[in-house]
């Protein structure tokens, strides 16, 4: 189960995807647009015309023609937000909403079948992977017309060939979250270095708190910890190279990461492999744990109002002064264009609009645990947490996406996921683990 990208997505997960998607299937949406009287066959036919009309009709098209838009925002609130956002673009857009998890899992099928002109996706290697396969369209010219995106964002939107394939919309940072009220009461201060973190953890233990909440039943949350440690110990470039398979997993640098992590494990919540992140977040909410390294979506577990406002975060502390804390993890949600869209001009217009602050504002308002990617986004209406996130991301030197977005998905899910779970169970055999990771990596990264 991947982490939800918005509060509404989290809430929607309490409601099964089928409920959320009820009436939001392609057929249902078309019925709505055509009017209630449309027969099923008619709308299917139109669906065929609109989406199933076989091989990519090539470029052309104009901004006044319809643009198709594939969206994974399947729960009520962001769906409406995206609909509003798209409506405000002034273009004729036909949205095809697919349930979030399903969309992700089927991206391979989707892109090779008959994708919409524009579709939601995430930045990082996964975007580059499809671009390199020729499944995404080059939108470097769209970037010429977008302002307010930092260099880091542009870097994250660029493919391996130097062209841009992605337009960011929202993002959220990973950090160490805590409850302000609890820390004030106990007199804690955000630690600046690893040693201070350990001291703080020890203090928390004495005060009867679980220092660091931790959950890894789904396997991916632990990747966040690995990434943060690697960024701090070995720097951004090494991390990126490691993700790309260019560095060795059994190198002394990686071993150092695991050894450092082992030092922190005693302060982690126990039985992490049987716990899901929502439970760990609840322990933070219930004041049972002192802090939690997670993405900002942790706020979705906090009731709106006083509790959510009590949430704050700080950057993972510095480990190597030469590297500092300039590298952060902030996964970016956004849009791509399919290769050979039916309406290229229209698609690019839509993308240009989606890259504006105006679009981002609508999205970020609906989900206060993420922020607009552009620096021109209207931060005035943001919550305290969002404002802090803006500053945090805006001042970052480099932005990583997250392990399972930055590296090959087969490597992430079949090697890293079990590998990290093994480490948590048995943190002492770092040599054996890293050797195995490296040899598996070699067998996967050969192509």
Residues that bind another protein (CB under 8 A): 10, 13-19, 21-22, 25-27, 41, 44-45, 47-48, 52, 98-99, 102, 104-109, 112-114, 133, 135, 217, 219, 271, 273-276, 278-279, 281-282, 301, 409-410, 413-414, 417-419, 421-422, 425, 436, 439-440, 443-444, 446-447
Residue that has been written with the tokens 């951004």 in this structure: 236
Contact yes or no for 154/143 (Cβ under 8 A): yes
Nearer to another protein, 150 or 436 (CB): 436
Kindly state the smallest distance separating residue 15's Cβ from another protein, in Å: 6
Cβ(128)–Cβ(408) under 8 Å? no
Q: Tell me how far, at minimum, the Cβ of 353 lies from another protein, in Å.
A: 29
**C-beta of 200: minimal distance to another protein in Å?**
26
- Nearer to another protein by Cβ, of 109 and 428: the residue is 109
> Minimal distance in Å, beta carbon 14 to another protein?
5
| Torsion angle (degrees, nearest 10) of CA 235, 277, 372, 375 | -30
For 179, the token pair is: 């409850």
- Work out how close the CB of 219 gets to another protein at its nearest, in angstroms, rounded to a whole number: 6
Q: Give ∠ CA 194-270-227 in degrees, rounded to 5.
A: 45
Q: Specify the residue, 122 or 178, whose C-beta has the smaller distance to another protein.
A: 122
Which C-beta is closer to another protein: that of 301 or that of 343?
Answer: 301
Residue matched to tokens 């319809």: 66
Phi, psi of 375 (to 5 degrees): -75, -10
Nearer residue to another protein within complex by CB, 381 or 413: 413
Q: In the block, which residue shows the tokens 């404002």?
A: 387
- Which residue lies nearer to another protein by CB, 139 or 417? 417
17 contacts 74 by C-beta, under 8 angstroms? yes
Cα dist from 167 to 126, 337, 357, whole Å? 14, 9, 12
Nearer to another protein, 295 or 419 (CB): 419
Question: Any bridge partners for residue 121, and if so which?
Answer: 334
User: What is the side-by-side order of every strand in the sheet holding 118-122?
Assistant: 93-97, 67-71, 118-122, 332-337, 166-171, 371-372
Give min distance, CB of 7 to another protein, in A.
12
How far apart are CB 340 and another protein at their closest, in Å?
Answer: 16
The least distance separating another protein from the CB of residue 50, rounded to whole angstroms, comes to 12
Quote the least distance from Cβ 275 to another protein, whole Å.
7
Residue that the structure tokens 């798209």 belong to = 86
Residue 29 CB, shortest distance to another protein, in Å, is 12
Q: Rounded to an integer, what distance in angstroms lies between the CA atom of residue 352 and that of residue 373?
A: 14
Give the nearest distance from C-beta 334 to another protein in angstroms. Answer: 18
Burial bucket for residue 120 (CB in 10 Å: 0-12, 13-18, 19+)? buried
Is the CB of 295 or the CB of 317 nearer to another protein? Answer: 295
State which residue, 324 or 418, has the beta carbon closest to another protein.
418
**Of the two residues 104 and 251, which places its CB atom closer to another protein in the complex?**
104
* 292 or 392: CB nearest another protein: 292
């Amino acid at each position: 189960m991947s982490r939800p990208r918005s509060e509404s997505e989290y809430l929607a997960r309490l409601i099964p995807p089928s409920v959320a998607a009820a009436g939001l299937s392609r057929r249902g949406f078309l019925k709505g647009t055509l009017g209630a009287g449309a027969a099923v066959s008619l709308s299917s036919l139109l669906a065929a015309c609109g989406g199933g009309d076989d091989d990519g009709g090539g470029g052309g098209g104009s901004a006044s023609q319809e643009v198709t838009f594939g969206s994974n925002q399947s729960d009520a609130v962001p769906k409406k937000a995206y609909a509003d956002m798209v409506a405000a673009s002034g273009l004729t857009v036909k949205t095809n909403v697919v349930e979030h998890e399903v969309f992700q899992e089927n991206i391979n099928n989707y892109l090779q079948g008959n994708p919409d002109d524009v579709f939601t996706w995430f930045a990082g290697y996964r975007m580059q992977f499809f671009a390199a396969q020729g499944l995404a369209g080059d939108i470097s010219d769209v970037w010429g017309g977008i302002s307010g995106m930092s260099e880091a964002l542009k870097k994250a939107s660029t493919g391996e060939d130097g062209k841009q394939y992605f337009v960011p919309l929202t993002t959220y940072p990973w950090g160490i979250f805590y409850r302000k009220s609890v820390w004030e009461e106990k007199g804690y201060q955000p630690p600046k270095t690893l040693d201070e973190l350990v001291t703080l953890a020890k203090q928390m233990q004495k005060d009867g708190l679980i220092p660091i909440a931790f959950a890894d039943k789904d396997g991916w949350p632990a990747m966040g910890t690995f990434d943060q440690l690697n960024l701090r110990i070995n720097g951004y470039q090494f991390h990126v190279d490691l993700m790309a398979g260019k560095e060795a997993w059994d190198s002394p640098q990686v071993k150092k990461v695991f050894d450092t992590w082992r030092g922190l494990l005693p302060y982690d919540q126990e039985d992490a492999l049987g716990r899901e992140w929502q439970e760990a977040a609840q322990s933070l909410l219930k004041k049972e744990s002192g802090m939690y390294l997670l993405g900002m979506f942790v706020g979705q577990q906090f009731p709106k109002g006083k509790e959510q406002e009590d949430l704050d975060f700080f950057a993972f502390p510095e480990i190597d002064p030469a590297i500092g804390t300039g590298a952060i993890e902030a996964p970016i949600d956004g849009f791509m264009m399919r290769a050979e869209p039916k309406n290229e001009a229209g698609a690019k217009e839509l993308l240009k609009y989606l890259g504006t602050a105006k679009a981002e504002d609508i999205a970020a308002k609906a989900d206060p645990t993420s922020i607009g990617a552009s620096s021109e986004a209207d931060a005035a209406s943001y919550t305290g947490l969002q404002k802090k996130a803006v500053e945090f991301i805006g001042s970052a030197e480099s932005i990583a996406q997250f392990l399972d977005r930055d590296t090959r998905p087969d490597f992430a899910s079949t090697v890293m996921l079990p590998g990290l779970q093994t480490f948590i169970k048995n943190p002492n055999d770092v040599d054996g683990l890293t050797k195995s990771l490296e040899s598996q990596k070699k067998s996967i990264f050969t192509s």
